[in-house]
Amino acid sequence: MMNNFSKFIKNTLKYPMFIVFLFIVIFYGGASLGKDAESDTYAIVTAIGLDKSESDEIELSLLTFIPIVAQDFKEKYEVIKASGQSISEAMDYAGLYIGREVGLSHVKTIVLNESYFDEDASVEMDYLVRNKSLALSTSVICTDAKASDFLQAIKTLDSSSSIKVDTLIEFNNSYIFSKESTLESFYKGLYSPSKASYISFISLVGEDDEGVGITASTSNAGLGDSMASGESSGGSQDENKKILNKGETFLCKRGKKVAKLSSEEMRNLNFFDSSFKHGSIVIEDFSDELFKNARLTFELYDSQRNIRAGFENGIPIIYLDLKLYVKLSEVKEKDLEIKENVDFKNISKKAINTLEFKVKDLISEGVNILREYKADTIEIYRILNNTDHKAMKKFMDSLEDKEDYLNHVIFKVSPQIFSS
Amino acid sequence: MNFFNVEHEIKKIKNELHNSFDVVDRVLQKGNIIVGFIYLKSFTDNLIFSTAIYEPISSFDKQLDFDNIKNLVQANDTKEIKKEEIVENILKGAVVILTNTSQKILSVDIQKFNARAPSEPPTTPVIQGPREGFTEDIKTNIGLLRKRFYSPDLVLKNLSVGRRTKTQIIIAYLDNVADKKTVKEIEKKLKKIDIDGVVDSYYLIPFLAERPNSLFKQIGNTEKPDIVCAKLLEGRVAIMVDNTPMVLTVPFVLLEDLQNPNDYYTNYIYSTLLRFVRLIGSLFAILGPGIYIALQLFHYNVLPLKYLITIADSTQQIPFTPFIEILFISLLFQILYEVSLRLPSYLGLATSIVGALILGDTGVKAGLISPPAVIVVAIAKIALYTIPEQSAQITVLQFIFLLIGASVGLFGIIGGAIYFVGYLNSIENFKTPYLAPFSPFILKDNKDGIIRVPITTMEERPFSFSTPNKRRIGK
Amino acid sequence: MRDESINVWQTSIMLFLLMFANKILILPSLFFNDANVEGILCFIILFVLEIALITLFIFLKRKYPTTSFVQLIKEKFGKITTIIIYFLILTYFLCKLVLIYNVTYMFFKDLIYSENSSVLFLICLLPIINYLAFLNLRAFGRTCQLFFPVILIFALFCVVVSFIGTNSVPLFYQSSFSDIILTSLKHISSFGDAVFLFVLMDKIEFKKGDGKKVFFFFSLASIMVVLVAVSFYFAYTYTSFMHPYAIFEILGNIKDYGGLGRIDVIAVIFVMFITYFQMAIYLKCFSVCFEVLLPKLKRAYSLVVFDFLFIIIVELILRNLEKTITYGENILPYFSIVSFVIVPLCTIFFLIIKSNKERK
């Protein structure tokens, strides 16, 4: 009997990989038999909200997916609130409240209260950047309401409609100002020469307010702090709120807000962006042989741009050659007679000239804002430096305020309008 | 002069055959010559014996001697044998004729056995193409093969293996096409076999394979004569064993099982597509459940949110942990498979209804198993049969990878895959790399690899094993 | 002996596989730290050095097609020098193995194995690389060959898709030439992988014109590495230093590619494959060197010794990424003398002697 056993052991030892396999299966496989799915041990967070309390504590809200027993696979979310001196402390509390570890790998949106940008927000956001499970492509939104209320609004939207807030931001990125508002873009701006970056601003408004908001009901009931500290509002006190995306943006310097730019102001900077292919340009009070005191709206359907840089006598010059392909899409005139032969395609030379001036004006307005705040978000420094870094260095050395270089750069814009 | 005491000899032979009830002897005395016949009535054609052997001898009116008897027998398969070969010949269905006047012994093969007619084998059905399959009768099988080669190049070598069964084994190959060294090696290996009986060709595989204890199939097998014919034309050697329709082919490479007879009877583009499907199917069958459980237990963070939500929602009510759940479903499917394989077809239908509807659907509705796990395991179990010849290996691998996935996650699965490929690469049967033509990569052989080119462009025989004559088309 | 030989395709594929690992993980970020976007030039400089090493190997192989490197050293320098040189090479491979392991372990720990200890990782890794190193070289070469298309597809996917995420241009001319050279020297230990060719020299079947194949695979790999670095710098510009795992981060930068969610898992799988193969190749070389030092011992002993040393180093000495980076930047470059000084000098010496003899 013993002989057979030792023979068996000897034979088995001839297959070390089999022993390794057995070892893995017995020890690790055995442990896995009792292991729950990670989706049950982690709280799957899809959005993070950050507020500051009056005592300067961090109020963390997590929009968390809660699995439910249902065959319709509907997404059910809860907002978990927790507070602490730091985000990591608040995260620990949030985990405690829900009885799971907080998993941030599926976070798509981070909502920050605007008070964060009164100081350098990057200091507060440090935890988010260091956390490896959090994708840096996560959208960051700033709001004037409480971030927790904003998450409540997102929760209703995510649970009851196909509209997702992160897609709103992405829409912003692609069509309104061609600038991302993500963790990555924020830090990229922060570490750029002018230390300037953008953060999208979306407000939460009342149901009766105007704007293109999406009605979403927010309730104050939630798990976590409010429940733990007995501050629950006693059931769901519904208050209809709208998420209003007007395309507004915070311009930040060194992580701190310096201006709130409207979507129109942001659009002026679009002319520097190669992905800006769609949009509209309006000329007010235009008169020529076809129109009289008319308001003409031109729709942009394609564009080409060439940005060059050069130095003349040590002064940096940016040449922006623009080719804009437009079509007249709307005319508003008091006594407009719609004749059969009125052809919008035949735009007069005067109209084109006016349009060219308008484009120059718009660009000038945009650049002036950037000059005012010393915020080079259109990467003029990079263009100049990559063109002639020695001249650039000389130019920078000649400046007293190294961040005020935009005011000394000459912009030469030559737009060409092509109408169809 | 008396060479044999016929009656005594017959008695001796009968004793040697333990006086089995079907041993029949007849003694004919004509003048001073005594002719003894001995045969097995259960294994010979009695009518032929009466009309073609006994009748001509008994009615012969001249002086009988051995040579006369030999000429009188109206059967094709007659031969003179030695005394010690008597029993073996009787057992092989021959009538042994002894005379007291000669030392010579005559054996007339009149074996009769009700063999199954060649029919379409259930293991390799084809949509188009020949439907003939081998039978259990080796003579029929040889006939089926000969029918495909009207050429003297087809060489058939006869051997017998098995101390007690003395099973007939035929080594078939094409002269000047198959490698002589391979044939010799096979012959050597077969002659070395010392086993009491060979019941099926599978008994020979461990004796022929380089790694007899390995999980992996190292010798090809088929039930179809057209496949054997194609393999002989490629330069391979076939081994036919009596009493089994399974013919072995060597050298074998894994790719052969990815190829299907249908591939050669349909459009080459279509068959290439099907080969890709088979490859993906078998990979899914091996790795699917393992990856699924690894993602659930270790890497939830790499799952897209939508899938994660579906999985998380559907596993909420399950009383088991994910690993137990998937083991349970896998086992359930395997039990159903085993049962449906062994039950008669009319009951098989009932088990599939019970399996699919009651156990699957009701299990999900009752909250015992989750739909994603059922889907993953079901697809894996179905995909297993994209390569039916390897289903045994794939089933085992599926369980191995399931255990690895549940134990150590994705990193372990990739490690396991590398290990198995490394192991397969170390196998070389008859000096043929097991994973040829992929590793080592042989470009010319890849004309009939995953991608199949038209037959007109397959000008050469495979390079993965040696053949003396490489050209298939042209000189 | 036939079992212990690989053809030039398999050799080239092994070289290809060795070109990745930490070159596409932490190196782009570390280069950016010291040399900004000019870190790309560091890659190019170090690849040029690698090309020089490969060229030397090809020359040597042409002159001595069947001789092993150890025989050549023994012939010219004697036994003791051979032992010293091979001991240094062996140590070099051990150091490289530790570096690669620690970097990839931290990578997996950070990203997909957050809950698990290094024991699980070692249990998966060590048996497989031991098995591959124990396997005859031919089967090992074939295994690399079979996985090559899979790895190539993953690599190409990463490289091609990473360009989708590049929407900006970095700031050039921020580092001086000396910065670039110093950075290259600081991280030289991540290069010099071609030295494995010398160790396995006699086991490589080499015909005339095969050098082109080696160069082709090397160029393919190095171009891919440079492209990864370029797309990384173009995607992250000023924040490149914040992202330690380049290949993973550039895929993570792309949002919801094709509705699949996080496609960075492709990079993770790619790195997993590369880790296994790269470590197995080094271990094979370690084992070959060990056999030179202690020829009477069986191959299995070399693996046992390796496992023992390896576990001690990674579990007791270098337990985190910071320590590993410090070790990689401060200690390991000295060991690179083996790949970039000792081996080339020996080779040049043989070649000169050979040509002198031929002239005579």
**Would you state the pLDDT for residue C235?**
85
Mutate to test the interface with C, among A28, A38, A137, A394 (most CBs of C within 10 A): A137
- Cα–Cα separations (whole angstroms), residue A142 to A147, A246, A256, A267, B217: 8, 13, 12, 19, 63
Q: A41 by DSSP, 3-state: which? A: helix
User: Is A193's Cβ below 8 Å from some Cβ in C?
Assistant: yes
Selecting from A34, A68, A106 the residue whose C-beta is nearest the C-beta of B305 gives: A106
**Would you state the pLDDT for residue A237?**
45
Q: How far is B463 from chain A (nearest CA, A)?
A: 32
Structural tokens at position B322 = 């994910």
**Would you state the pLDDT for residue B368?**
85
Q: Which residue has tokens 């690899």?
A: B449
Number of Cβ within 10 Å of residue A96's Cβ equals 13
User: Is B309's Cβ below 8 Å from some Cβ in A?
Assistant: yes
Does C280 or A202 have the greater pLDDT score? C280
Across the range C248-266, mean pLDDT stands at 67
In B31-153, where do the E strands start and end?
33-40, 78-81, 94-99, 105-109
User: Is A14's Cβ below 8 Å from some Cβ in B?
Assistant: no
In B100-236, where do the E strands start and end?
105-109, 154-161, 167-174, 220-222
List phi, psi (to 5°) of A371: -65, -40
**CA distance linking residue B409 with residue C113, whole number of Å:** 9
| pLDDT over threshold 80, residue B119 | yes
| pLDDT over threshold 50, residue A220 | no
Would you mind telling me the total number of residues written for chain B in this entry?
A: 475
**CA distance linking residue B105 with residue B3, whole number of Å:** 11
Residue type (1 letter), C199:
V
- B227: pLDDT confidence band, cut at 50, 70 and 90? very high
Asked if A381 and C169 come within 8 Å (Cβ–Cβ), the reply is no
**Would you state the pLDDT for residue A344?**
58
| pLDDT over threshold 50, residue A227 | no
- A122: pLDDT confidence band, cut at 50, 70 and 90? confident
All residues at 6 or more sequence positions from C145 whose CB lies less than 8 Å from its CB, including other chains: B438, B439, B440, B441, C9, C10, C13
**CA distance linking residue C201 with residue C11, whole number of Å:** 10
Structural tokens at position B345 = 């077809």
Write out pLDDT tens, residues B34-46: 999 999 988 888 8
Write out pLDDT tens, residues A26-76: 888 888 888 888 888 888 898 999 998 888 888 999 998 887 766 566 667
Does B335 or B280 have the greater pLDDT score? B280
Q: State how beta strands B105-109 and B78-81 pair.
A: antiparallel
Does A393 or A264 have the greater pLDDT score? A393
List phi, psi (to 5°) of A139: -70, 140
Domain that holds residue C198: 2-359
Does A232 or B187 have the greater pLDDT score? B187
Residue type (1 letter), B280:
I
Does A244 or B322 have the greater pLDDT score? B322
- On whether the CB atoms of residues A250 and A112 are closer than 8 A, the answer is no
- C265: pLDDT confidence band, cut at 50, 70 and 90? confident
Selecting from C123, C131, C265 the residue whose C-beta is nearest the C-beta of B422 gives: C131
- C360: pLDDT confidence band, cut at 50, 70 and 90? low
- What do you get for the CA distance between the two ends of chain C, in Å? 35
Mutate to test the interface with B, among A35, A36, A46, A109 (most CBs of B within 10 A): A35
CA neighbor of B299 nearest in space, from A289, C265, A326: C265
**CA distance linking residue A335 with residue B249, whole number of Å:** 94
What sign does the dihedral A7-A11-A14-A18 (CA atoms) show? Answer: negative
Q: Which residues of A touch B412 (CB under 8 A)?
A: 24
Across the range C207-221, mean pLDDT stands at 91
- Cα–Cα separations (whole angstroms), residue C253 to C82, C163, C231: 49, 10, 11
All residues at 6 or more sequence positions from C27 whose CB lies less than 8 Å from its CB, including other chains: C43, C187, C190, C229, C246
Structural tokens at position B142 = 């040889």
**Would you state the pLDDT for residue C256?**
53
Across the range C247-253, mean pLDDT stands at 79
Q: What is the dihedral of CA C36, C40, C46, C51, to 10 degrees?
A: -170
CB within 8 Å of chain A, chain B residues 148-167: none
Complex ipTM? 0.94
CA neighbor of B242 nearest in space, from B168, B157, B171: B168
- B300: pLDDT confidence band, cut at 50, 70 and 90? confident
- Cα–Cα separations (whole angstroms), residue C288 to B358, C136, C139, C198, C285: 60, 12, 16, 11, 5
**Share in percent of chain B as helix, strand, coil (round to 5):** 50, 15, 35
Does A17 or A316 have the greater pLDDT score? A316
| pLDDT over threshold 60, residue C39 | yes
pLDDT over 70 percentage in chain A: 79
List phi, psi (to 5°) of A338: -85, 105
> C-alpha B196: how far from its chain's center?
20
Residue in C closest to B416 by C-alpha: C128
| pLDDT over threshold 50, residue C27 | yes
Would you mind telling me the total number of residues written for chain C in this entry?
A: 360
- Cα–Cα separations (whole angstroms), residue A63 to A158, A170, A201, C337: 10, 19, 19, 54
**CA distance linking residue B283 with residue B119, whole number of Å:** 32
Report chain A's mean pLDDT, rounded to a whole number: 80
CA neighbor of C284 nearest in space, from C146, C122, C138: C138
Residue in B closest to A45 by C-alpha: B305
Write out pLDDT tens, residues A143-163: 988 888 888 887 777 665 555
| pLDDT over threshold 60, residue C120 | yes
- A173: pLDDT confidence band, cut at 50, 70 and 90? low
What sign does the dihedral C27-C33-C36-C37 (CA atoms) show? Answer: positive
CATH of the domain at C25: 1.20.1740.10
Q: What is the dihedral of CA B413, B419, B421, B422, to 10 degrees?
A: 160
Helix C343-359 vs helix C39-63: angle between axes, to the nearest 10 degrees?
A: 40
- Cα–Cα separations (whole angstroms), residue B353 to B341, B358, B375: 14, 7, 17
| Range A265-419: architecture per CATH | 2-Layer Sandwich (3.30)
Mutate to test the interface with C, among A128, A140, A170, A191 (most CBs of C within 10 A): A191
Asked if B298 and C142 come within 8 Å (Cβ–Cβ), the reply is no
Structural tokens at position B15 = 């004793």
* Angle of CA points B3, B7, B13, to nearest 5°: 95
List phi, psi (to 5°) of C355: -70, -35
Asked if C172 and A389 come within 8 Å (Cβ–Cβ), the reply is yes
- A350: pLDDT confidence band, cut at 50, 70 and 90? confident
Q: Which chains touch C (3 or more CB pairs under 8 A)?
A: A, B
User: Is B321's Cβ below 8 Å from some Cβ in A?
Assistant: yes
**Would you state the pLDDT for residue A165?**
64
| pLDDT over threshold 90, residue C139 | yes
Structural tokens at position C186 = 């600081």
- A236: pLDDT confidence band, cut at 50, 70 and 90? very low
Selecting from B304, B408, B419 the residue whose C-beta is nearest the C-beta of C123 gives: B408
Number of Cβ within 10 Å of residue A192's Cβ equals 21
Residue in C closest to B413 by C-alpha: C124
| pLDDT over threshold 50, residue A225 | no
- On whether the CB atoms of residues A141 and A111 are closer than 8 A, the answer is yes
Q: B222 by DSSP, 3-state: which? A: strand
| pLDDT over threshold 60, residue A142 | yes
* Number of domains observed in the structure of chain C: 1
- B322: pLDDT confidence band, cut at 50, 70 and 90? very high
B235: left (phi over 0), alpha (psi -120 to 50) or beta: left
A81's enclosing H/E stretch is: strand A77-84
Write out pLDDT tens, residues B21-64: 999 999 988 888 899 999 998 888 888 899 989 999 988 888 88
User: Is B412's Cβ below 8 Å from some Cβ in A?
Assistant: yes
**CA distance linking residue C66 with residue A329, whole number of Å:** 79
- On whether the CB atoms of residues A220 and A226 are closer than 8 A, the answer is yes
Q: How far is C323 from chain B (nearest CA, A)?
A: 24
Structural tokens at position A54 = 């009056």
| pLDDT over threshold 60, residue A177 | no
Residue in C closest to A392 by C-alpha: C173
| Radius of gyration, alpha carbons of chain B | 29
Write out pLDDT tens, residues B148-205: 998 889 999 999 999 888 899 999 999 989 999 999 999 999 999 999 999 999 999 9
- A235: pLDDT confidence band, cut at 50, 70 and 90? very low
**Would you state the pLDDT for residue A172?**
61
**Would you state the pLDDT for residue A149?**
87
DSSP assignment, residue B176?
T
Q: Where are the domains of chain A?
A: 38-261, 265-419
**CA distance linking residue B444 with residue A358, whole number of Å:** 67
Q: Where are the domains of chain B?
A: 6-109, 138-263, 266-426
Report chain B's mean pLDDT, rounded to a whole number: 89
| pLDDT over threshold 50, residue B275 | yes
Mutate to test the interface with C, among B418, B429, B438, B445 (most CBs of C within 10 A): B418
Asked if C146 and B435 come within 8 Å (Cβ–Cβ), the reply is yes
Q: State how beta strands A139-143 and A196-206 pair.
A: parallel
Q: Which residues of C touch A170 (CB under 8 A)?
A: 255
> C-alpha A274: how far from its chain's center?
18
pLDDT over 70 percentage in chain B: 99
List phi, psi (to 5°) of A400: -80, -50
What sign does the dihedral B318-B324-B325-B331 (CA atoms) show? Answer: negative
Three-state secondary structure string covering C114-153: CCCCHHHHHHHHHHHHHHHHHCCHHHHHHHHHHHHHHHHH
Please return the burial class of C83, using the count of CB atoms within 10 Å of its CB with bins 0-12, 13-18 and 19+: middle
**Would you state the pLDDT for residue B366?**
80
**Would you state the pLDDT for residue C90?**
93
Would you mind telling me the total number of residues written for chain A in this entry?
A: 420
Number of Cβ within 10 Å of residue C307's Cβ equals 16
**CA distance linking residue A289 with residue A352, whole number of Å:** 13
